[in-house]
Amino acid sequence: MTTVDHAEAALELCESGAEFDAIISDIEMPGIDGFELTRRLREIARWENTPIIALSSHTGPRDLDRGREVGFTDYIVSIMIGKQLFGIPVLQVHDVLGPQRITRIPLSPKEVAGSLNLRGRIVTAINIRSRLNMPPYEGDHECMSVVVEDQGELYSLMVDSVGEVLSLDEAMFEQHPATLDGNIREVSTGIYRLDKSLLVVFDVRSLLRFQGEEAA
């Protein structure tokens, strides 16, 4: 592993003929930031297809869109809910959990399944099926959860199952089609058309809003 202190040094190293299997970059750096570094690297033919991974606390939809525009590699945690494949950008994923003991919260919205304790932190559990107005889960195995962080708070998104982390070409990212279910469309940023399925990318912040109000 080779490390440098700033983007200018990284750019000089990449232009000098050095070989790397992947590049990991912070976003906020003095001088050239991670977005500009990635844009410049993608203009160099030998780095066009090299995975470039962002490390950042800025994970809002605009930040993710800008990352795709300049050429950061999209890594998506895949999720199944019913027969639909969903995904969450890996930068937004704090943890993946198996079945957990959940404590009900009196008078909470139907989307809030309750709360759980994750290594001393209280996490609000969100039933994604309820959030999307889908019928209750009736599968043979217990549900899993993806823990995300939004504005300093942790949320456990309860889903049917969690799959692998997918490395996707940002050029494949599209706006969602008009035929996509409205409940899903309002909580997604767009889609990827895979070989045998359509992957819908969740907008985590929108997912945590119920009738115009945040889950917290």
- What CATH number is attached to the domain comprising 33? 3.40.50.2300
**Which domain CATH number covers 178?**
2.40.50.180
pLDDT computed for residue 34 by the predictor: 77
Q: What angle do CA 89, 157, 188 make, to 5 degrees?
A: 50
By residue range, what is the domain housing residue 181? 75-209
**Are 89 and 23 members of one domain?**
no
**Are 82 and 66 members of one domain?**
no
The region of weakest confidence among 15-19, 20-24, 108-112, 193-197 is: 20-24
- How do residues 60-101 score in pLDDT, each as one tens digit? 556 666 666 666 666 788 999 999 999 998 878 888 998 899
Write the DSSP symbol of residue 136: P
Question: Is 129 part of a structural domain of the chain?
Answer: yes
pLDDT computed for residue 55 by the predictor: 59
Write the DSSP symbol of residue 55: E
The region of weakest confidence among 32-46, 51-65, 140-154, 195-209 is: 51-65
pLDDT computed for residue 212 by the predictor: 41
Mean pLDDT computed over every residue of the chain: 83
Which domain-ending residue is among 42, 72, 102?
Answer: 72
Distance CA 31, CA 186 (A): 37
Which domain-ending residue is among 72, 96, 125?
Answer: 72
pLDDT computed for residue 113 by the predictor: 94
Residue 178: what are its φ and ψ, rounded to 5°?
A: -65, -25
**Are 26 and 128 members of one domain?**
no
Distance CA 102, CA 112 (A): 11
Determine which helix (DSSP H) or strand (DSSP E) holds 10, and give its type and residue range.
Answer: helix 7-15
Task: Band the pLDDT of 43: cuts 50, 70, 90.
Answer: confident
**Are 193 and 181 members of one domain?**
yes
Number of domains in the chain: 2
pLDDT computed for residue 141 by the predictor: 80
**Are 13 and 87 members of one domain?**
no
The region of weakest confidence among 29-38, 106-115, 199-208 is: 29-38
Write the DSSP symbol of residue 31: S
**Are 34 and 126 members of one domain?**
no
Percent of the chain with pLDDT over 90: 37
Which domain-ending residue is among 38, 72, 106?
Answer: 72
